Structure 1
């Protein structure tokens, strides 16, 4: 059982008062969840909407969660567009006015459209985080750049609009994790924006060999972000070694990126990618130096 209204559950007989008091925890006034269930970002969005009397519109991160975005920190507060002056812990209330084409319903819940959600998320402080969130939203919904641009033009004087436009220009529908987005942004900042993402590679017989996070198909250079399981899981490590060997046999040069490299040594990502591109015959007109992170 996910978030529910306590008085409704009591009236329906699905719980009694003793069960409500001992087996469930109050998320907001009259809104409950099972004690042994850790709430997700989606749960927080639904709970906040129920708290509003089903009157509010989920916005920002809550809208993104309801649209199916991954990687949203479940500890962050829910966000609603609501006229209520009553405040409650765990919910951020916005008073924005929405045009008719800026909200919709998902499973009966009022929620900002993907385009409006991107408009809101892209203006939150922090360019990298804004791009990560827009990438995730595009992945989840198929949101088109033209739809985002329409909202940006409509609200041209809104706070944060400059960052939003930068985030839109940097977004990519091929990012499948925040770290892939960060890797792409490190390369882009150095003047090495990958020309392709999620590159599928096949052998001469048409058999699928693997999919690369990003790279330059025409130069057979790929860049892969490897999560911790790629380094600590022996079975995954073996698969990676075999896969890279197959890719290299087909002429690909693979730059592998770890979390430590991305966080503390981004210049290494750039240097290794640039070296691979130069060997492949590509010489970028200018490459910016990326400082070592401290």
Structure 2
């Protein structure tokens, strides 16, 4: 008779689910999963060693999640890995803190950073960077993760990022109400004097509230860099009888009086057949007005600098 595969206790599985699938050896010991049992679980493929003292209960790898475009889970997985490696008293800072706060746009390749509440030094590794930074007079906790306040995290992260990424992150922080106008001003002030602050100083003014996704931010910047800034974001188009036909990501008023609408097909929404048909029906209604042109771009096209801006420029300023 075949021997049943070893399993993890339900309470330990619930804990792992709250930590993006990760567990420390100490947590395993606490729930009765000793070294010998862990070895059997690893041999059975129930656990995978991902760093010293850390195991992963998820069977899909980071490469699998990237293929499935589960970028948010990859980012959070990295933050949890860093926090568990750092141990008690660690607070996520910089890009890691922004991930915890729910800000979008941080590249998945980032290395999570922490600082300790007591200011002590710690050892960095390939999975973790320990910083000596000012945590201010407070920190926050979300879903079990400690993180520095978003204003301070923005001040730490923006000067280190490239322009497109930094502005997309700022747009996301505003759109998701992670910071308000006053918080953005405070973050900009906290960034002064940091390495990269002179280079990144103009980027704070390039951020807007109207961008509802990272892809929209990147497309807007591409158009600005091509010399064709949008006249309106989240532009609404109405039928002659006043019926709302749709809303585009960006609108451009053409010299002949027509409206150019740019739409970004983001990940997820347009993968369903029904959504595609709804979009096609809406597009036909818009084009039937006669005074509306539509350009649509995929997420891959938006990620390639110059693609969106170049296409829009040809319409706005035809040769």
Same fold (TM over 0.5): yes
Determine whether 1:41 maps to 2:81: no
1:149-203 superposed Cα distances (whole Å, 9 cap, x missing partner):
2232244222222343322212233334433222101222244322432334454
Determine whether 1:267 maps to 2:286: no
TM-score of the aligned structures, taking structure 2 as reference length: 0.72
Choose the corresponding residue for 1:244, options 283, 286, 296.
283
Question: Does the 8 A contact of 2:81 with 2:127 survive in 1?
Answer: no
**Counterpart-to-counterpart distance in 2, 1:19 and 1:167:** 53
Question: Does the 8 A contact of 2:188 with 2:204 survive in 1?
Answer: no
Q: Which residue does the alignment assign to 1:52? A: 86
The CA RMSD measured in Å over matched residues stands at: 3.3
**Counterpart-to-counterpart distance in 2, 1:100 and 1:211:** 43
| Offset, 1:229 | 8.3
Give SS of 1:77's match: coil
Q: Which residue does the alignment assign to 2:196? A: 160
Change (3 A) 1:204 1:115: farther
| Offset, 1:222 | 2.0
Give SS of 2:201's match: helix
Stretch deviating more after TM superposition (109-118 or 139-148): 139-148
TM-score of the aligned structures, taking structure 1 as reference length: 0.77
| Offset, 1:246 | 1.5
| Offset, 1:28 | 3.5
Question: Does the 8 A contact of 2:98 with 2:153 survive in 1?
Answer: yes
Change (3 A) 1:19 1:249: farther
Q: Which residue does the alignment assign to 1:178? A: 214
Choose the corresponding residue for 2:147, options 107, 111, 116.
111
| Offset, 1:125 | 4.0
Q: Which residue does the alignment assign to 1:278? A: none
**Counterpart-to-counterpart distance in 1, 2:178 and 2:241:** 32
- Pairs aligned (count): 274
Q: Show structure 2 runs of 5+ residues with no match.
A: 1-15, 63-73
Q: Which residue does the alignment assign to 1:222? A: 261
Choose the corresponding residue for 1:169, options 196, 205, 213.
205
Q: Which residue does the alignment assign to 1:29? A: 52
Q: Show structure 1 runs of 5+ residues with no match.
A: 276-288, 290-294
Give SS of 1:152's match: helix
Q: Which residue does the alignment assign to 1:284? A: none
Change (3 A) 1:245 1:142: farther
Q: Which residue does the alignment assign to 1:64? A: 98
Question: Does the 8 A contact of 1:67 with 1:140 survive in 2?
Answer: no
Stretch deviating more after TM superposition (32-41 or 195-204): 195-204
**Counterpart-to-counterpart distance in 2, 1:161 and 1:267:** 30
Change (3 A) 1:104 1:236: closer
| Offset, 1:135 | 2.4
Give SS of 1:45's match: helix
Q: Which residue does the alignment assign to 1:20? A: 38
Question: Does the 8 A contact of 1:49 with 1:55 survive in 2?
Answer: no
| Offset, 1:240 | 3.4
Question: Does the 8 A contact of 1:202 with 1:210 survive in 2?
Answer: yes
**Counterpart-to-counterpart distance in 2, 1:81 and 1:155:** 17
Q: Which residue does the alignment assign to 2:186? A: 150
**Counterpart-to-counterpart distance in 1, 2:96 and 2:230:** 31
Give SS of 1:181's match: helix
| Offset, 1:274 | 4.2
